[in-house]
Amino acid sequence: MTDTRRRVKVYTLNEDRQWDDRGTGHVSSGYVERLKGMSLLVRAESDGSLLLESKINPNTAYQKQQDTLIVWSEAENYDLALSFQEKAGCDEIWEKICQVQGKDPSVDITQDLVDESEEERFDDMSSPGLELPSCELSRLEEIAELVASSLPSPLRREKLALALENEGYIKKLLELFHVCEDLENIEGLHHLYEIIKGIFLLNRTALFEVMFSEECIMDVIGCLEYDPALSQPRKHREFLTKTAKFKEVIPISDPELKQKIHQTYRVQYIQDMVLPTPSVFEENMLSTLHSFIFFNKVEIVGMLQEDEKFLTDLFAQLTDEATDEEKRQELVNFLKEFCAFSQTLQPQNRDAFFKTLSNMGILPALEVILGMDDTQVRSAATDIFSYLVEYNPSMVREFVMQEAQQNDDVSKKLTEQKITNKDILLINLIIEHMICDTDPELGGAVQLMGLLRTLVDPENMLATANKTEKTEFLGFFYKHCMHVLTAPLLANTTEDKPSKDDFQTAQLLALVLELLTFCVEHHTYHIKNYIINKDILRRVLVLMASKHAFLALCALRFKRKIIGLKDEFYNRYIMKSFLFEPVVKAFLNNGSRYNLMNSAIIEMFEFIRVEDIKSLTAHVIENYWKALEDVDYVQTFKGLKLRFEQQRERQDNPKLDSMRSILRNHRYRRDARTLEDEEEMWFNTDEDDMEDGEAVVSPSDKTKNDDDIMDPISKFMERKKLKESEEKEVLLKTNLSGRQSPSFKLSLSSGTKTTLSSQSPATNLPGSPGSPGSPGSPGSPGSIPKNTSQTAAITTKGGLVGLVDYPDDDEDDDEDEDKEDTLPLSKKAKFES
């Protein structure tokens, strides 16, 4: 359907009493079987989907407002509105609604039915209408009482509204207002205040259009000055006529537009300043007033947007160097308010609005304005820039990249002529204003940092078949802008401690670090190359010496974010520059204080230990162990030392490392019987294999070779389980065929020497002390039989306690025991010897 008469926007009223746009489509009326009645249907013009399906209920009150609006309530707290493109379409649908409800299309409201007693409803419906007292000075009190008594009943409000409309009563009341003011009749003025306030609460658009007309609105405001609760009348008219001045920064040629702007400002003033704050019960009575202002603003933005001459003159004067500062400030303030008004537009209209501004050159204009010295103008320009970034960051990014390309081309030409190009990019202007914010609380800097963060956020960058915005923009940003952002950081960290450490500088550097930390998390090689090439991390860690704890924590958070990436390029850079030194120094200077700094540093080292970052573990222990070894209220540093020693032993014993690799590879094979097969292979290495070996091994070396083979395996078994269960002490008991297996405690002295002591009475069970083949017997030094399920606890010097669980799996215990019982005698003799 392409009939523009039927083209509408659908609005719903939200909880904040603001209208939300639900889309644009075409409205029709017809019988809907599912709803069993005539209904209003609105289908979206974009895809034909159903935006609205509403049955025309005979008892629903429909209101026609401003010739192009139809408003009604579907249910309690659910208001709907149709805004028509053309008056003819509104009239056509209004006739359909009135036809269904049996009403005269000349009315602006069909009805307002509410819960009332049957007697009251009968009395109201049977009465022909409401007769108003004659509009005379002596009867003002009677009129005020009539209005007040009608407000509680919706039907009486409806009749009162119709009577006020039909008899032109409001204009007669305003004539009496002039008489009362001339006679200084304060009592009459107080009655008029109550009458006019009551008329507002009738919530009728037709009455508002009379009251807000050019000839009546100032008299209405005058009536509202005489509040009986106040000893002296307000001076609202004086403010509106003398103090508040309407400035046409650009002459408006359309008289209708000019009148609409005046009307909207005054009605907004009435709502915000003149009318008393409505009670909970009165708030919904002013919904039509909210709607009146809302749709006025939509209309103003649309009319201005269509006036190309107006916008062309606006941007021409904004960028003209001959424009004086006062005039430019007025232009910027107007543009700011214009953008604020645009927030009331529906999405597609807002898209068109910002595209229009973009085509008119709003970004180059903002660049000119931001380069000025006037802080008020810059502040307004920043607000406008924030509207643009929030609406479409890609549009801003595209502009700054094109600007950079043009600057590069100009710079090449100027370089040939030996002239310096002093043009500053828009995004660099934003960064400079953030850095140079004079506000002690850095309110403007925080706002600008948020805008920069939005611009460099890859999540809102577009990717197309031909180009990737992320790659192009980040390449531009790190080439042209990052040095400007990091300039205050680099200038303040030339020594071992910050050169300036006042509160405002610390706040600024914290903002810079917050943005850099965001870059580390969301950018890849761009930020990595920049940090490593410019030695940024070392400079950041200088701030660990700041007297402001929040800044030191920001620096630590930056490093923690880098370590969290587990990137070996970063790790090598950290180790090469010894960048743990400032952190360790801050940790030691913090002493025994239990605070956020202490916890954050320990958490960073704990992360290295848990994630087993080998390079950093070795670096920390080799360089800082002596400073950290006495820290025993947490086991983090001792755990790091244990990790380091395990790495060292693997490096020193390649046989053990290869055995560990074999076991690890088989541990994760899909076949559940793999471990069993490996055990079978080991046992099947029988006398024939050993005899083959005896031909090349001298008898004197045989015992030595056995020791060399078995010793690494047993050590690996112990270390493997040390690693899995470090720093805990658990004593587990495992039942084998109804028997209690012996438990062992492995005590580590200050060296690497280990001793095993029995925790249960000695028995002749395999694996018990003194039995052949036990870990403590000389016959098999350090070896652990496969048929024992043993659990040992480790106790180390200094209170470090950990669990050692021997390598045989619990689920294989029974099978292992059976294996031993079925071994050939030769195997048993060999194993136990």
Question: What pLDDT does 517 receive?
Answer: 96
378-to-105, 246, 328, 371 alpha-carbon distances in Å: 53, 23, 11, 8
Cβ atoms < 10 Å from Cβ of 406: 11
> Would you state the torsion angle of the CA atoms of residues 755, 761, 764, 768, taken in this order, to the nearest 10 degrees?
-20
The pLDDT, as a whole number, for residue 545 is 93
Would residue 805 count as lying in a domain? no
My answer on whether 14 and 93 are in the same domain is yes
Tokens 């509403």 identify what position? 54
207 and 85 both lie in a single domain: no
Q: Is the pLDDT of residue 805 over 50?
A: no
- Which range in 97-106, 437-446, 619-628 is most confidently predicted, on average pLDDT? 619-628
For residue 161, being part of any structural domain is answered with: yes
Q: Could you tell me the CA-to-CA distances from 678 to 523, 660, 685, 736 in Å, in that order?
A: 47, 13, 11, 22
Q: Where is the domain boundary, 652, 678, 713?
A: 652
Look at residue 153 in the predicted model and tell me its pLDDT.
82
Q: Is the pLDDT of residue 814 over 70?
A: no
> Which range has the worst mean pLDDT, 276-280, 329-333, 432-436?
276-280
What is the average pLDDT score of the chain?
A: 77
pLDDT for position 2? 55
User: Taking a C-beta distance cutoff of 8 angstroms, is the pair 507, 492 a contact?
Assistant: no
CB-CB contact of 201 with 286 (8 Å): yes
d(CA 113, CA 121): 9
Closest by Cα among 113, 115, 136 to 62: 113
Please choose, from the candidates 526, 558, 528, the residue with its C-alpha nearest in 3D space to the C-alpha of residue 542: 558
Are 145 and 278 part of one and the same domain? Answer: yes
Integer angstrom CA distances of residue 31 from 34, 56, 63, 434: 9, 10, 22, 61
Q: For residue 757, report the phi and psi dihedrals to the nearest 5 degrees.
A: -125, 140
Average pLDDT over residues 30-39: 82
Instruction: Grade residue 798 by pLDDT with cuts at 50, 70 and 90.
Output: very low
Domain tally for the chain?
3
> Of 555, 548, 552, 557, which Cα lies nearest the Cα of 521?
557
Which one has a higher pLDDT value, 291 or 821? 291
348 occurs within a structural domain? no
Report if residue 45 sits inside a domain.
yes
3-state secondary structure of 191: helix
- State the Cα–Cα distance between residues 23 and 266, nearest whole angstrom: 30
- State the pairing for strand pair 791-796/744-748: parallel
Q: How far is CA 644 from CA 216, 638, 664, 796, in A?
A: 88, 10, 20, 16
Reported confidence tier of residue 289, pLDDT bands at 50, 70, 90 = confident
Q: How far apart are alpha carbons 345 and 106 in whole angstroms? A: 30
**Which of 273-277, 380-384, 401-405 shows the highest mean pLDDT?**
380-384
Q: How much is the pTM?
A: 0.60
pLDDT, tens digit, for every residue of 530-539? 999 999 999 9
**DSSP secondary structure, 385-449, as one string:** HHHHHHH-HHHHHHHHHHHHHHHHHHHHHHHHTT-------HHHHHHHHHHT---TT-HHHHHHH
Cβ neighbours of residue 808 under 8 Å, at least 6 residues apart? Answer: 786, 788, 789, 816
Q: How far apart are CA 121 and CA 343, in angstroms?
A: 43
Cα 732–736–739 angle (5° rounding)? 90
521 three-class SS: helix
The pLDDT value recorded for residue 220 is 94
Residues 75 and 209 in one domain: no
Q: Is the pLDDT of residue 515 over 90?
A: yes
Mean pLDDT over 393-415 rounds to 76
Rg (CA), the chain: 42
Domain for residue 257, yes or no?
yes
Return d(Cα 3, Cα 6) in angstroms, integer.
Answer: 6
In whole angstroms, give the CA distance from residue 476 to residue 150: 68
**What pLDDT, in 10s, does the model give residues 660-682?**
555 555 444 445 444 555 555 54
- Does 338 fall in a domain? no
Same domain, residue pair 169 and 254: yes
Q: Are 774 and 767 in contact (CB under 8 A)?
A: yes
Contacts 24+ apart (CB under 8 A), 282-287: 282/201, 283/17, 285/200, 285/201, 285/202, 285/203, 286/200, 286/201, 286/203, 287/13, 287/17, 287/79, 287/203
Whether the pLDDT of residue 688 is over 50: the answer is no
pLDDT in the model for residue 59? 78
The encoded tokens of residue 270 equal: 């009435």
Per-residue model confidence (pLDDT) at position 279: 59
Q: Judge if 143 and 96 occupy the same domain.
A: no
Token output for 490: 């680099």
**CA atoms of 603 and 596, how far apart (whole Å):** 10
Quick one: average pLDDT of 317-332? 85
- Whether 162 and 230 map to the same domain: the answer is yes
Please state the length of the chain: 833
**How many Cα atoms are found within 13 Å in the side-chain-facing hemisphere of 709?**
9
| CATH code for position 69 | 2.30.29.30
SS3 103: coil
Asked if pLDDT for residue 514 goes beyond 80, the answer is yes
Contact 616, 607 (CB under 8 A): no
Query: What single DSSP character describes residue 463?
Result: B
Closest CA to 806 of 781, 789, 783, 787: 789
- Among the listed residues 97, 90, 107, 91, the one whose alpha carbon sits nearest the alpha carbon of residue 165: 107
Give pLDDT, residue 484: 94
Question: Do residues 28 and 146 both lie within one domain?
Answer: no
pLDDT band with cut points at 50, 70 and 90 for residue 69:
confident
Packing angle of the helix pair 568-576, 549-564 (nearest 10 deg): 130
Taking 70 as the threshold, does the pLDDT of residue 65 lie above it?
yes
Judge whether 73 lies within some domain.
yes
Rounded-to-integer distance, Cα 26 and Cα 6, Å: 5
Assigned domain for 236 exists:
yes
**Region class of 338: left (phi > 0), else alpha (psi between -120 and 50), else beta:** alpha
Together in a domain, 173 and 226 = yes
* Mean predicted confidence (pLDDT) in 54-78: 81
Q: In this predicted model, what pLDDT tens digit does every residue of 436-491 receive, in sequence order?
A: 988 888 888 999 999 999 999 998 887 665 567 888 899 999 999 999 999 999 99
pLDDT one-digit tens code per residue, 111-164: 654 444 444 444 444 445 678 888 888 999 999 999 988 888 888 888 888 888
Residue that is last in its domain, among 55, 73, 101: 101
57 vs 78, higher pLDDT: 57
Nearest to 559 by CA among 593, 529, 522, 520: 520
Specify the higher pLDDT residue, 97 or 700.
97
- 556-599, pLDDT tens digit by residue? 999 999 999 999 999 999 999 999 999 999 999 998 889 999 99
Kindly state the percentage of the chain with pLDDT values over 90: 31
Cβ-based neighbours of 497, under 8 Å, separated by 6 or more: 542, 545, 546
Which residue carries 């107007």 as its tokens? 334
Average pLDDT over residues 399-404: 88
| Mean pLDDT to the nearest integer, 306-321 | 85
According to the model, what pLDDT value does residue 290 have? 85
pLDDT of residue 391: 86
Kindly state whether residues 255 and 145 are assigned to the same domain. Answer: yes
Measured in whole angstroms, the distance separating CA 188 from the mean position of its chain's CA atoms is 57
Check whether 373 has a pLDDT greater than 60: yes
Structure token pair of residue 265: 């400002």
Distance CA 71, CA 61 (A): 9
For residues 171-203, b (16+ Cβ closer than 10 Å) or e, as one string? eebbebbeebbeeebeebbbbbbbbbbbbbbbb
58 and 185 assigned to the same domain: no
Structural domain that includes position 280: 139-300
Average pLDDT, integer, range 18-28: 86
Q: Both 84 and 212 in a single domain?
A: no
